[in-house]
Structure 1
């Protein structure tokens, strides 16, 4: 049996050494910090895209409600102009639709005209369900919608795409309704 009377000198020096502790701790924390940074960046980018979606749907409705008459060409110009609000996000992933809803004297809401970009417009006469308390008899509303497929810039294969949808109802500003020719 071998018994060491004293411990090796290098073992004592190693136990007392403190110079590499901070580097070792940083090496343990670094992956978490990188993940936190990238996750925060991705979250802020998704929130920014959602805000752009909201601004786009409001712009679409706002530009439409300022008119007293509307042609297909004017509607397409408004749809294309509103789509530009999405920058720097790709507008090709956005489906935009503007419609006018007519609420009759009985409170039944139907589409009187509709136009879409990267999607399908409603057929005239389509019955729609309006939010409670909004459908006032014998009125008209401009209804704008956007459906946007957000693709994360980082880790898109891990996260996948996120559908962002917003709608808004506005009353025509300069007339009782926007006549569509």
Structure 2
């Protein structure tokens, strides 16, 4: 009987399948979560482009600069959030900023606005941007944190302002004089759109926590 038991191969395939099943399930569910995250990341990219494209086409940078307190991009921020559907909109934060180039790798934040919303986008909530806007055109010194880095080699030479004394405009925070150009008072314009999304895998028992998907796009204004 022991000899027959040792040579009996019935049920081998079932045992092998039982051993492989957890690995196959893990690969399948992991692949589904990864493809879902990639699709969501693409949505974030598309929504960011939608946001900055809408603003660059319709909001004049000179008007925003002269009266930043009155500038409002709520409708454009909300429109970009809708692009994220069918993903839950309450996991997204949209932000748009108007920048003025002060050297080849930095820009002054003229104005910025950010918002989030509930799950279906029907209720919008303003949120604190991760950038600090300056107070120009008020005739006062500007804070150093109103100058932020931008991508290297993103601007052309004609967008970079020059100061009469040759100093770096980004560092001229005090009101301008005859020899210095104050930061934010000269230079090319850029709109920056940024969206971040906290993606949570649909299969929660996998060892994948929330992943923050971010995308930032810069565009030159079409309207002046």
State whether TM-score is above 0.5.
yes
Q: Flag the structure with larger Rg.
A: 1
| C-alpha distance 156-31 of structure 1, shift in aligned 2 (>3 A) | closer
| C-alpha distance 89-109 of structure 1, shift in aligned 2 (>3 A) | same
Deviation at 1:159, TM superposition (A): 2.2
Deviation at 1:29, TM superposition (A): 0.8
Deviation at 1:33, TM superposition (A): 0.6
Deviation at 1:155, TM superposition (A): 2.3
1:124 is matched with 133
2:83 is aligned with 1:85: yes
Q: 1: CA distance between counterparts of 2:198 and 2:36?
A: 13
| Aligned counterpart in structure 2 of residue 40 of structure 1, from 31, 36, 43 | 31
Q: CA RMSD in A?
A: 2.2
1:28 is matched with 19
| Aligned counterpart in structure 2 of residue 15 of structure 1, from 6, 28, 35 | 6
Q: 1: CA distance between counterparts of 2:42 and 2:20?
A: 33
How many residues in Structure 1 have an aligned counterpart in Structure 2?
Answer: 164
Q: 2: CA distance between counterparts of 1:145 and 1:20?
A: 57
1:58 is matched with 49
Normalised by the size of structure 1, how large is the TM-score?
0.80
| Aligned counterpart in structure 2 of residue 114 of structure 1, from 109, 112, 115 | 112
**SS state at 1:124 partner:** coil
Deviation at 1:132, TM superposition (A): 1.2
**SS state at 2:110 partner:** strand
**SS state at 2:213 partner:** strand
Normalised by the size of structure 2, how large is the TM-score?
0.66
**SS state at 2:149 partner:** coil
1:152 is matched with 201
**SS state at 1:168 partner:** strand
Deviations 1:92-117 (A, max 9, x none): 1111111111124x666212222211
| C-alpha distance 52-123 of structure 1, shift in aligned 2 (>3 A) | same
Q: 2: CA distance between counterparts of 1:162 and 1:14?
A: 52
Q: Unaligned 5+ residue runs, structure 1?
A: 1-9
